[in-house]
Amino acid sequence: MTRLLPRWFVEHVNPVADEDDLPVSTLELFFDLIFVFTVAQFTAVIAYDPLIGLIQSVLMFGFLWWMYAGYSWLTNVIPPERPARRILLLCAMAGWLVVALTVPAAFASGSVWIAVGMLVVVLVHGLMYLQAARSFGPVFIANLAAVAAVFAAELGPEGAWRYSLWALAAVIVWSVPFWHGQRGLNLHPAHITERHGLVVIVALGESVVAIGIGARDLPVDADLLLAAVLGLAIGACMWWSLFVRDLPATEHRLTATTDAVKRVRKVLAGLSYAFIPVLLGILVFAAGLKHAVGHALSPLDVESTWLLSGGVAAFLVGTAGLRLAMPLPRPWERVALAAVVLALAPIGLVNTALQLGAITAVLVAALAWEGRAAAAPATRGSSPVRSG
């Protein structure tokens, strides 16, 4: 397939093979901001109709997250250092912007433009990646098949047809690792870890944006400030749970994995699959927080209480998946913590601030316990040996 590409494309986009220390570029940060606008749109969809909106968001996010992760892999092997690469990434960003703008209409009235945007995203990604690995050809074809399913979904009738075809698009792409051997692919551990971490950081910022949207036209009083501060505290705990130990340890584990295929499979399991609940959890929590702001001293509706606790619980389950994949210590403790947070949802039916405060207290206590448990082996190892 690469022989059919124009010579200009091959000469200007072909990757350099000897780049060991690969920093994340400012263009990649710009790219992440465009993608997170898409995440923000999902938050709005869920906040408008928690049940149906969540189903629609999960179906769409399945395909969209696969392609975002694909771009983090792409810039890992083809850094955007040449003008042609930068221009192509900017074209892909235009495709992502079209996708983000049309997310709210994808199931409501149908919008073929979301399929057009995804086609641009997939074409740029595939044609660039083929310059790094010819084994990517079958993956490119699978991505195009998923885009075809999206076109069929948006051009067809509403209802079950549209839902089933979006689900088919997600199944097509996420089945790729099961039949593709991952040979011929290689990844820089520091770069791939940082890229996935950065999109989580920007997505966490979405929870702060949710506070601002929820606070629009509201008086600055205890109802507003209490929910805003507690919401920020929960977001800070989510950041702490992932970035203080898990992601640095993930980079270390990936660096220690010298077999390229095993490294790729760890990235797939720990940073691609496991980050689905991580990111969905953030946007679900943000949707619940949008409803909670301004109502801290009053009861919350049932849907919003489950959005708050369910979003945090999903995030924690995702971090447990990361720990299992690398592997890192104590993954099942995160699953237990997620169950505890989920059980706190009914408290919001009594008082919103009580639920937010309870989630915050449980997270702080769990993180403090994790910190002591992680420090205990090091303390025992450094203790002096008494002479007899």
Residue showing tokens 């915050």: 360
Residue showing tokens 């074209």: 91
Q: What is the Cβ-side half-sphere exposure of residue 161, based on CA atoms within 13 angstroms?
A: 9
**For residue range 278-298, what is the model confidence (pLDDT) as tens digits?**
999 999 999 999 888 888 889
237 contacts 364 by C-beta, under 8 angstroms: yes
pTM (two decimals)? 0.88
Structure tokens at 48: 């408008």
Dist CA 311 CA 313 (whole Å): 5
Structure tokens at 49: 């109709």
Whose CA is closest to 171, among 270, 66, 95?
Answer: 66
Structure tokens at 27: 């263009």
Respond yes or no on whether the N-terminal peptide bond of residue 384 is cis (omega within 30° of 0): no
- Average pLDDT of span 18-46: 82
Domain boundaries, the chain: 2-179, 189-372
- Average pLDDT of span 206-229: 80
Instruction: Give the pLDDT score at 291.
Output: 86
Averaged pLDDT of the chain: 87
Dist CA 18 CA 323 (whole Å): 30
Dist CA 247 CA 253 (whole Å): 10
Whose CA is closest to 152, among 172, 175, 171, 168?
Answer: 168
- Average pLDDT of span 303-307: 95
Query: Mean pLDDT lowest for which of 112-126, 240-254, 372-386?
Result: 372-386
Query: CA–CA distance from 58 to each of 50, 55, 97, 166, 312 (Å)?
Result: 12, 5, 19, 10, 16
171 contacts 188 by C-beta, under 8 angstroms: no
Residue 381 banded pLDDT, cuts 50, 70, 90: low
**For residue range 353-374, what is the model confidence (pLDDT) as tens digits?**
999 999 999 999 999 999 888 8
Looking at domain 189-372, its CATH class is mainly alpha
The distance of Cα 372 from the centroid of its chain, to the nearest Å, equals 28
% pLDDT > 90, the chain: 63
